[in-house]
A and B are shown apart, each in its own frame.
Chain A
Amino acid sequence: MKPKFSPPAPGKPRLTTSAMIASIAADGQATKPAPFGHALVEIASTRPDIVGMTADLGKYTDLHIFAKAYPDRFYQMGMAEQLLFGAAGGLASEGFTPFATTYAVFASRRAYDFIHQTIAEEDRDVKIVAALPGLTSGYGPSHQAAEDLALFRAMPNMVVVDPCDALDTEQATAAIAAHKGPVYMRLLRGNVPMVLDEYAYSFELGKAKLLRDGRDVLVISSGILTMRALEAAKALAKDKVSLGVLHCPTIKPLDVETIRREAAKSGRLVVVAENHTEIGGLGEAVARDLMLNGIHPAFRHIALPDEFLGAGALPTLHDRYGISTEAIVATIKGWLG
């Protein structure tokens, strides 16, 4: 049923949706431009096997930077995602390492079988780099890839990466280029927040990293929800709640040793937080592993609901669906009672 029109609440500004690919950076937050595009240009300088491919979204996936640096190594495939990934599989079969970009909805939903058959099943060295992962667009379900991690986790051979910020994106780009085999990486593009430089952190493929320790709550998170969890930790510290953050940017293969070790420490509420539907992502992966291994902490899940999400401004939507910093703080306080 279509919603009824509701006038703005008095005194509250009505936010606008803005561009399809509006920045996720908060006002005043430190950012870095196009970390993926610049990192790929640098890596490709010593890797002549790397080629760039896109389906009419070079500018929107920061691949235009690569295209400008290496015009003869860039393939514009037109707005044809099935072709994009089939051809990427073909180029990989001839010894090249394609970085193929599009939006996460098109990689995961439209081209799934092509990736399954021409890349994953044949174990081809293709890096799928997909913008607008999870809920990072206000344009509604057509552009919201709420289920991308579930779909790619379910695909054998596929490595799945969900970086948090500009630093993570740069380092993850280098790591997946060095990894032999198919990878799906969620992309943050444009002016991407820089957060993890405050921490003693470096990205390692397949590793979860404890960014801060905490006595009361352990948040296990990936992607931009790690950024939110770190902000929530600072906010909750004022209320004397001690919150640890275990950043888990590789969704598959999962760093189960670190997760088990941290989750087994007694007396903490374990919360998995992800920018993804509650079905089939990091939360269910962690829960399954802990149950199978007899580790039973109090467990909660912050994720997007199993419904088609709304259109609107991202801050509004992140509040509505519980993945803004304020919403996370309120939710965790509620759980702690």
Chain B
Amino acid sequence: MAELPNKSLADRAYHIRRNAVLMGEVQGQGYIAQALDIADVLAVAYFHAMTYRPEDPEWEGRDRFLLSNGHYAIALYAALIEAGILPENELETYGSDDSRLPMSGMAQYTPGMEMSGGSLGIGLSIAVGKCLGLKRKGSSSRVYTLFSDGELDEGSVWEAILSAAHHKLDNLIAIVDINNMQADGPSTQMMGFEPLKEKLEAFGWFTQRIDGNDLDAVVAAFDAAKAHPGPQPRMIIADTLMGKGVPFLETRDKSHFIRVDAHEWQLALQALDAGRSA
């Protein structure tokens, strides 16, 4: 086996994907393709970029991670389990009655979940307020905010984009997942947002566009976002592949909310294992 770069991060990403597939199996369906596409970004966020204490998820000195696209909760739970913030045995409760892991992320339910997402287009506005608040407190903590390409359709996102630049929120690192799929079809066909990097640069953001499934590129982007010396808020545009890591899901007709047959969950786990040792 060839020595993989960032091997430990690749291992983290594998476990995040595995946790997500196991949760998907509980429901039999869900936002599993998104979880697979964003696993590399979450691996770098939680195991390379961010500062936090797993045993004390509300530690004041932590970096904040906001999940604006609440339906990606399955992916974040998978990362929180891998990070030791959530116990692994709660995985089997995903989306079940009385679980702390509802289908859409909610601040009141889950340790490590900083906001109630799901009403899309809200996260960046909260992030602006949190960044202003952290600066008021003299805190060096950063606010990481993940949102989806579909949310670029929402006017409120652009309000927040204007505002973050206006207020020079250099403690904000936003990541937009460009998987080119939203509820009614491919995102670029629902409401064109390209050229996105040029747009965001014109709005005053330090902007990078990367392959969000290339761990080295993701690491470099987070490092550059943290190290950038200017007062601009930072945006990472992450182009991702839905279903990444499970070939038969990567090539399946894409949809926002996919069904996976009962026997396929085991095949998905096997595909992840195969990819890990490839």
Query: Any chain A CB within 8 A of the CB of B96?
Result: no
The answer to whether B34 has its CB under 8 Å from any CB of chain A is: no
How many angstroms between the C-alpha atoms of A98 and B159 in the bound complex?
19
Q: When chains A and B are docked, how far (Å) is the Cα of A123 from the Cα of B116?
A: 11
Contact between A117 and B122 (Cβ–Cβ < 8 Å)?
Answer: yes
CB of B162 closer than 8 Å to a CB of A = yes
Q: Does A27 contact B (CB under 8 A)?
A: no
Whether A93 contacts B162 in the complex (CB less than 8 A), given A82-B156, A122-B107, A122-B108, comes out as no
User: CB-nearest residue of chain B relative to A113?
Assistant: B119
How far does the alpha carbon of A9 sit from the alpha carbon of B75 in the complex, in Å? 70
Considering only CB atoms, which chain B residue lies closest to A96 in the complex?
B133
B132 at the interface (CB under 8 A from A): yes
A91–B159 CB distance below 8 A: no
| Interface residues of A, dominant DSSP | helix
Do A87 and B162 touch (CB < 8 A)?
no
B155 at the interface (CB under 8 A from A): yes
B115 close to chain A: CB less than 8 A: yes
Check if A307 is an interface residue, CB within 8 A of chain B. no
Stretch at the interface among B9-17, B123-131, B173-181, B262-270: B123-131
Chain A residues positioned under 8 Å from B160 (CB to CB): 83, 86-87
Mask of A179-195 contacts with B, CB within 8 angstroms, 1/0 = 00000000000000000
Interface of chain B residues 80 through 120 with chain A (CB within 8 A): 106-108, 114-116, 118-119
Task: Say which residue of A95, A96, A117 sits within 8 Å of B116 (CB atoms).
Answer: A117
Interface flag for A41 (CB, 8 Å): no
Contact A82–B125 (Cβ < 8 Å):
yes
Specify which chain B residues have a CB less than 8 angstroms from the CB of A116 in the assembled complex: 119
Interface size, B (range): 20 to 34
A311 contacts partner chain B, Cβ-Cβ < 8 Å: no
Q: Cβ of B167: which chain A residues have Cβ within 8 Å of it?
A: 75
A123–B122 Cα distance when bound, in Å, is 16
Whether A90 lies near B127 (C-beta < 8 A) is yes
Chain A hits for B107, CB < 8 A? 121-122
Known: A78-B163, A113-B119, A122-B107. A86 touches B125 (CB 8 A): yes
Contact partner, B122, options A78, A80, A86, A95, Cβ 8 Å: A86
Contact with B along A281-315 (1 / 0, CB 8 A): 00000000000000000000000000000000000
The verdict on B7 contacting chain A, using a C-beta distance below 8 Å, is: no
Find out whether the CB atom of B134 lies under 8 angstroms from the CB atom of A94: yes
Q: Is the CB of A87 within 8 A of B129?
A: yes
A57: min CB distance to chain B, Å: 15
**Contact present for A77 and B126 (CB under 8 Å):** no
A255 to B227, CA, bound (A): 56
Known A-B contacts A114-B156, A121-B116, A122-B116; the reply to A87 vs B136 at CB < 8 A is no
Q: Which residues from chain A contact B108 at a C-beta distance below 8 Å?
A: 121-123
**A114–B120 CA distance with the chains assembled, in angstroms:** 10
| Interface hub of A78, A83, A96, A118 (most chain B Cβ within 10 A) | A83
Q: Interface residues, chain B, CB within 8 Å of chain A?
A: 106-108, 114-116, 118-119, 121-122, 124-134, 136-137, 155-156, 159-160, 162-163, 166-167
By Cβ-Cβ distance, the 9 closest A-B pairs, closest first, are: A90-B129, A86-B125, A94-B133, A87-B129, A80-B159, A83-B159, A82-B156, A90-B130, A90-B126
Pull 25 A–B residue pairs with CB atoms less than 8 Å apart, ordered by A: A75-B167, A78-B159, A80-B156, A80-B163, A82-B121, A82-B156, A83-B159, A83-B163, A85-B125, A86-B129, A87-B126, A87-B163, A89-B126, A90-B126, A91-B129, A91-B130, A91-B136, A93-B126, A94-B134, A116-B119, A117-B118, A117-B122, A118-B122, A121-B106, A121-B107
